Structures are given as C-alpha cells and as structure tokens.
Structure 1
Amino acid sequence: MSILVDGSTRVVVQGITGRAGSFHARACLDYGTRIVAGVTPGRGGQKLDDRVPIFDSVAEAKQLTGCNASLIFVPASGAVDAMLETAASGIELIVCITEGIPILDMVRARRSLEGTSTRLIGPNCPGVITPGQCKIGIMPGYIHKPGPVGIVSRSGTLTYEAVWQLSQTGIGQSSCVGIGGDPVHGLGLREVIEMFDRDPATEAILVIGEIGGCEEQEAAVFWETSSRKPTAVFLAGVTAPPGRRMGHAGAVITGTSGTVAAKIEAFQAVGIPIILSPADIGKGMAKALAAAVT
C-alpha cells in the first residue's frame, strides 16, 4: 500500500503545453505515471507527443478520461483558479508545483477547498511519489526505491537528499510527500504523518522540517498522543542568524515558536530522535529503524 497515489492514479496535467509542464509531464510518463489528460484552454484536440490528449477544461478531461489527480504548472496569476476548477470537477488530489502565489490568493484557495473531498499538496512543492508506481511532481524518480519509510518534508531539495541517502543505505520508501514551504499551503506535516501512521506499508516515518511556523510542534503532539511508528526528524535552519530575513517563503518566525530550538525541544520532549546534520539523515533513519526492531 501507499498514501495519496499508487499505480492506479490517473493524472491530468494543467498547463501541459508550457515549457515546465511539458518537460515534467514527459518525465512522469517515462517513470510510469498514468497521465491520461492535459489541460490548456484553447489547445483542446491536440496531443502531447501523441501520448496524452489535451482538453480545454478539467471538467471535460475528467468526463472523458476519468482522471482523479491533477498536476498544476499554471503560472502564479492563474494557479488558484486552476485549483478551484479542479476541485469543482471533483478531482480528489491536487499537486501544485507553481511558486510565487500571493498569500491572500492561497487563503482564498484554502477557504474554497474546505468541506470538499479534494486534497491539496503545495503550492511551491516537489510533489508526491510512491516509488515504482506513480510520480506526480518534479522529483528525480531514479533516486527512489520501494520500501518501508514514509517521508514528509517542507523542503524540496532536502527531500531529494534524504531519499538519496536512504536508498544508498538500502532503505526504500513507501511514499514521499513534499508539502512545500509557503506560509499558506495544503496538507501539513501532521496530516501527512497521520496518513503514514494508518498505512500498513509504512513502518517508519522521516520528518524534514525547517524554521518558521509551528507545524513541527503540532506533529510532535500527534506523535505523543497517537502515533506508535518509529520516527526521526531533521530540522533545517539551526545556523540561521537571528534577525536575518531568509529567502524561503515559509521561513517566517513569530516570537519563539518558529525557531529551530523550539521545534527541537518539542520533539525531544516526546522522545523523537533528532538528526543534527543533513549528512547523517540516512544513518539517522537507519538507527531509528534498528532501535524500533530491538
């Protein structure tokens, strides 16, 4: 099993005729993802490489192909409208890669998605992958291998580094979810951890957090009260200088709650091991797995 996506997931790519959309759609197809449709208004009736039919709307694509997940490469000015169009069509999962979406636009999107059956990953994220089955996003597929560790991360680049280290150590992944680092986004750390906790194929969980916000503290509370699966955490931003404005959109610290020190304290209080260096993520996860077995 896995979470969110598997070999049966049927994907529509919004913005498939753009440079980024076409490039990554081809990469997902080559990985084995079932991309059954693309959407670009005004391009209906065309195809991507004679492999993927293109439609003018998501509703038309869903009606004719049965797609149940969307991958969005629409520019920031139209990305929220693309999300809302997808949700209105009854698509179950949205993965939005687009970066630079204004916060107020994302507030509108979050409010509109409340009460619907649609789950949003992102924006400004690498996407989600279940190794060997389905890749919806921009991550390099070849570094992943099937296995027992579920990964959820706020950082795209650190996700790739963690996956590479785990795979090189011989530890595969059940699913990997990059939730994005924007201040307002879809699924959060705790929600994804809850999914991994319910997934029989996930035996352990790796959490990659960073400065800003308080999602890590919320995840620590869930682990203390509900989760029983071995978990390890790496937190980026330990050396971030106080008072310095950081470039990452989500790296906004309010009071002391968003500091790495506060996040480390929250996890240590419930007994979750902290991996101190990005170079030790693979070894740290292997140690957490070994401790769980013994």
Structure 2
Amino acid sequence: MMNFSSNSNVLIQGITDPLGRIYAPRMQKYGTRIVAGVDPGQGGQIIQGIAVYDMVEQAIAQVGTIDITVLFVPPYAVLDAALEAITAGIRQLVIITEGVPPLDMVHLLRQAEATETLVIGPNAPGLIIPGQLLLGIHPPLFYQPGSVGIVSRSSTLTYEIAWELTQAGLGQSMVIGIGSDRIVGSSFQQWLQILEEDDRTEVIVLIGEIGGDSEEMAAQYVSEVIDKPVVAYLAGRTAPKGQSMGHAGAIIASLIADMGTDIGTAESKLAAFKQAKIPVVNRPSQVPDWIKKVSNKINKG
C-alpha cells in the first residue's frame, strides 16, 4: 500500500555523503518528516538535528516505524543499503544515486517484487507532493499545489515543465521522476495508475526520452486503462539517428532483447503516442496551454 504523505516517517541512507548532507536538511525544511539518518561507521553524529545511526535496525529501534527511505549512497553500496532497508520492513525506497550496476538492480528488484516494495529510481530526482512532501532533489521553488500530475524519465525537464505550469497558475498534485538508469524500479504504468486513482490529479503529463521501450508500453497502457487526460513531451526528437545520446538510461541500444530496430527511436515513441491518441507537445512551454484547453472542456462537460 503506497503511503506518501506529510505524516510519513522518512529515513535518509547515506546522510553523511555530500548529497545527503545537502538535501536532507532541504527536505526537512520543506516539511518532510525525517526521523533518522543511516551511514555505517558514522553513527552518533547529529546532522542539522537529524540523528545518524550505523544500521537501519538501530534507527528503527530508536524512532519506531519508518515508511520511506531515500538513498544517497554510492552506486556500489546501493544494493546492500536497499536490501538492509527491505529486511527491516521499509516498503518504499527512493534511490537518487546514478549508475547502480545493472545486475545489482536485477537482484534488488527481485527482492522488491517478493516483498511488495515500491522502488523509485535509481538516477531519479525522487518525488514531490507540492506543499506537503519532498523526497529527493526536486527544487521546491518550481512547484506549487494543484491538480496536474507529472511522471517523467528526465530530471531537469521535469523541473522545467513544472515551472512552466507554476508560472501559468497551474499547480501540481504529485510529481515523480522514475529514474533514467538502464534498469529502474517502478514504471510509467505503475505511476500512471497511481495518478489515475489519485483524487487530487485531474490531468497527467508524461515526460519521455528516446531509448528503451518505456514510452511505447506507457502509451499502450494509457489507451487501455487510463481515463484522465494525458499529454506527452518527448526529449531527444532531434537527435541524430544511430547515435547514442543523452544521459544514463537514454543510452540504450534499440537492438537489445530483439525488440527490433525501431524501438527506442523518437519515431517509434511518437507513433505509439499517436496510436494511443495521446497529444505530444513540441516544447515544454506548450504544456500549460494544452492543459488549460482540456480543463475548460472538463469544466464545461
């Protein structure tokens, strides 16, 4: 059962790492209830009022139930840290770290599936519920509470589109960066379903990238399951063909897994969106205008 709210108890793994030291206080300042930090060998410290423990079990023994953990640990430590959290009963993981070894992610996701654990990331900005909860590195200034849900493979484009919406007076209900490493935990489909069931969300923005087949699968899912209006933006449409480009997860050869030569290309994704009758805007600045048109139709309808 998903539990992301201002009442959620949050742990920071890797709190003494540089990013952990920077973003844990920012999350706390936003209103996120950070109850403890964990870093092996660093226990006993206090960082911005947050007690640091050597092990997750020690933290839980002191503070009680923990709902969510945010991981800032180095790539090769992610698997051990994540398995430690799962073993301790934490069922929602947000992995900010980039470059987690693929086989480690395979191992982690098998365990996550067996324990019904939700994994966001790796290489993700995390999740923000504007005005309530910040898990990760989203810049809060760009967001305001509202009814537009955003699910994205990109970090910076997420911020840009959220800022365009905010400037146009359109707030956001929930914004999720699913991550852009080769292998990530939760999918577009999972979050589309969550946003579909979320009472605050009226319209969904899907931000995709070239590489992989995530957008093609998401488009099919939208056409079959999602009733709320969906608009898409696709990054990398002008990239030269046959050349690996982008960051992390966008560098996925389209020939893997015998999926064919077109899967992963901008053409393939645009065709999938068209078949699913999902409008695709050409620029982030066009998203607010599209949403306003749809909202007018909903209100009139």
Would you say same fold, with TM above 0.5? yes
TM-score by length of 1: 0.95
Partners of 1:257 and 1:199 lie apart in 2 by 31
1:59 alignment counterpart: 57
Q: Which whole-Å CA distance do the structure 1 matches of 2:293 and 2:95 have between them?
A: 34
Give me the whole-angstrom Cα distance separating, in 1, the residues matched to 2:173 and 2:140.
Answer: 14
Distance in 2 (alpha carbons) for counterparts of 1:18 and 1:277: 36
- Give unpaired runs (5+ residues) of structure 1: none
Work out whether residues 3 and 67 of structure 2, in 8 Å CA contact, stay in contact via their aligned partners in 1.
Answer: no
In 2, are the aligned partners of 1:62 and 1:68 still within 8 Å (CA)? no
Letter in 2 for 1:83: A
User: Counterpart amino acid of 1:54?
Assistant: V
Matches within 5 A, 1:83-98: 83-98=82-97
Give the deviation of 1:287 after TM superposition.
Answer: 3.1
Which residue does the alignment assign to 2:160?
Answer: 161
Moved more, 126-135 or 79-88: 79-88
- 5 Å-filtered alignment, 1:89-128, equals 89-128=88-127
Counterpart Cα distance in 1 of 2:270 and 2:163: 24
Q: Is the 8 A contact 1:230 1:292 kept in 2?
A: no
What's the % identity of the aligned pairs? 42
Partner residue of 1:277?
283
TM-superposed CA distance for 1:271, in Å, is 1.5
Deviation at 1:286, TM superposition (A): 2.8
* Residue in 1 that maps onto 2:191: 192
Q: Does 1:290 align with 2:296?
A: yes
Secondary structure of the structure 2 residue equivalent to 1:250: helix
Letter paired with 1:58: V
> 1:268: how far off?
1.3
> Quick check: 1:261 aligned with 2:261?
no
Report the alpha carbon displacement of residue 39 of structure 1 after superposing the two structures with TM. 0.2
1:236 is aligned to: 235
- For structure 2, list consecutive stretches of 5 or more residues without a partner in the other structure: 256-260
- How far the C-alpha of 1:46 sits from its partner, in A, is 2.0
Cα deviation for residue 247 of structure 1 reads: 3.9
Query: Equivalent residue for 2:222?
Result: 223
Separation of aligned partners in 2, 1:14 and 1:126: 15
| SS of structure 2 residue aligned to 1:115 | helix
The yes-or-no answer on 1:9 pairing with 2:15 is no
Deviations 1:33-84 (A, max 9, x none): 11110001122222112x2111111122123222210010101111111111
Task: Report the alpha carbon displacement of residue 4 of structure 1 after superposing the two structures with TM.
Answer: 5.0
Q: What is the count of residue pairs matched by the alignment?
A: 291
Task: Tell me the distance in 2 between the aligned counterparts of 1:179 and 1:287.
Answer: 27
Residue equivalent to 1:245? 244
Counterpart-to-counterpart distance in 2, 1:92 and 1:122: 14
Q: Is the 8 A contact 2:164 2:284 kept in 1?
A: no
Mean Cα deviation higher: 179-188 or 153-162:
179-188
CA drift of 1:117 comes to 2.5
Structure 2 counterparts to residues 10-89 of structure 1, below 5 A: 10-49=9-48, 51-65=49-63, 66-89=65-88
Q: Which amino acid aligns with 2:82?
A: M
Provide the secondary structure at the position in 2 that maps to 1:128: strand
Q: CA deviation at 1:31?
A: 0.8
* Counterpart AA for 1:265: A
RMSD value, Cα: 1.4
Residue-by-residue CA offset, 1:64-122 (whole Å, 9 max, x unaligned): 22221001010111111111111111112111111121212212211222221311000
CA distance in 2, matches of 1:31, 1:263: 36
| SS of residue matched to 2:248 | coil
Question: Match of 2:283, as an amino acid?
Answer: S
